[in-house]
Structure 1
Amino acid sequence: MLDKKTVREFTDELASKAPAPGGGSVAALSASIASALSSMVFNLTIGKKKYDTYSEEDKNNVIASQKSSEIAKDDFLELMNRDTEVFLKVMEAFKLPKSTDEEKKIRSLKIQESYKAALEVPFEVAEKAFGMYKHIYTAVKLGNKNAISDAGVAALMLQAAIEGAVLNVNINLTSIKDEEYKMSIKNKCKNYITEGRRMRDEILTLVNELI
């Protein structure tokens, strides 16, 4: 499993001629790192003097966002593992026999199924990463100001994860024949990128004002 490797082992494998892991797993890892940074900001906030002055509502928001960030960190690592697994299944589908019409039909069906499965993982990365923005925003507004730059880096990593994941969605979409399905996925991904950039820029503006 990729998440069990050391950083050096992972980057060495990434740099090798092996077809996986690739950009999809890196996008998921970027989202995990963003979530970890978000969690760190909250952990450096809870229990501090300023935190004690917060309203109960703000305290609850900080605690809830910390828990969500921690869960997301691990969820994205699992998606990193899955991205490599589903890519290898696409390669397996192309190796199926195609000597007879029946074999060709089965092979074509399996290829379509594997491409859909392969794009659903990065799509989930993009979707869940977009959902992380509200927690990073909370980190900027209520987090320890000494760690405000870390929240900014989290936003940058998160948007890289979203756009990297969408690239991997799109490259798999080119092989999908279901046009209605393709259009639905494309529209959602476009929204994640557009709104994600808006949220990233809003967060970075706040961060730079507070530094």
Structure 2
Amino acid sequence: MLQNLNVKEFIDELSSNSPAPGGGSAAALSAALASALGSMVFNLTINKKAYNEYEEDIKNNILKSLENTNSNKNEFLNLMDKDAEEFLELMSAFKLPKNSEEEKNLREIKIQDGYQKALEIPYKVANKAFELYKYIEIAAKYGNKNAISDAGVAALLIQTAVESAVLNVKINLSSIKNEEYKIEIEKQCKLIVEEGTAKKNSIIDIVNSKL
């Protein structure tokens, strides 16, 4: 499993001539890193003087945010592995026999199914990464000021994950024949990139105002 490799091993694997892991796994890793940075900011905030002076609802939001960033970082690591697995499944569909019309039809069905499954993982990464913004915004607003830059880096990594995942959705989507499905996914991808950019900029503004 990719998530069990050390950093150098993963980078070496990523740089090899193997098509997986690739950009989809890198997108999921970016989201995992954003989650981890969020957790770090919250862990450096809880029970500190400024935290103890917050109202209970703010304290609760910080605690819930920590819980979510902790669970999300593990889910993104699983998605990093899943992305590579689905891509390899798609590649195996291309190796199916095509000696008869029946075999050709079955192969085409498997390929189309493979493309759809391959794009569903980065699509999930993009949407789940976008959800991280609400936690990182809390980190930027209420986190330990000594770690405020880390909240900013987390926001940048979220948008990297969102846009990188969307690119991986698009490259698989281009081979999908269901036009209605393609139009809907493309619309949602455009929306999440635009909204993500706005949220990222808003958080960076908060961070810069505290530096």
Place the TM-score, normalised by the shorter chain, in its bin: over 0.9
Structure 1 stretches lacking a partner, 5+ long: none
Task: Give, as a single letter, the amino acid of the residue that structure 1 aligns with 2:203.
Answer: I
CA distance in 1, matches of 2:19, 2:75: 23
| Residue 171 (structure 1) shift | 0.1
Give the 5 Å matches for 1:169-184.
169-184=169-184
**TM-score normalised by length of structure 1:** 0.99
CA distance in 2, matches of 1:36, 1:180: 37
Q: What is residue 112 of structure 1 aligned with on the other side?
A: 112
Q: Note if 1:138 corresponds to 2:138.
A: yes
Q: Note if 1:40 corresponds to 2:40.
A: yes
**TM-score normalised by length of structure 2:** 0.99
Q: What is residue 200 of structure 1 aligned with on the other side?
A: 200
CA distance in 2, matches of 1:196, 1:135: 13
Give the alignment's Cα RMSD to 1 decimal. 0.5
| Residue 92 (structure 1) shift | 0.3
Give the 5 Å matches for 1:20-169.
20-169=20-169
| Residue 79 (structure 1) shift | 0.3
CA distance in 1, matches of 2:204, 2:62: 19
| Residue 184 (structure 1) shift | 1.1
Deviations 1:17-75 (CA, angstroms, capped at 9, x unpaired) = 11110000000000000000001000000010111111110000000001000011000
| Residue 163 (structure 1) shift | 0.3
CA distance in 1, matches of 2:159, 2:147: 19
Task: Give, as a single letter, the amino acid of the residue that structure 2 aligns with 1:64.
Answer: K
Structure 2 stretches lacking a partner, 5+ long: none
Name the SS of the counterpart of 1:176 in structure 2: coil
CA distance in 1, matches of 2:89, 2:140: 41
CA distance in 2, matches of 1:46, 1:205: 23
CA distance in 2, matches of 1:37, 1:199: 17
CA distance in 1, matches of 2:144, 2:104: 60
Q: What is residue 7 of structure 1 aligned with on the other side?
A: 7
CA distance in 2, matches of 1:178, 1:102: 21
Identity of aligned pairs, percent?
57
Question: Which portions of structure 1, spanning 4 or more consecutive aligned residues, are displaced by more than 2 angstroms?
Answer: none
Deviations 1:63-114 (CA, angstroms, capped at 9, x unpaired) = 0001000011000000000000000011000000000000000000000000
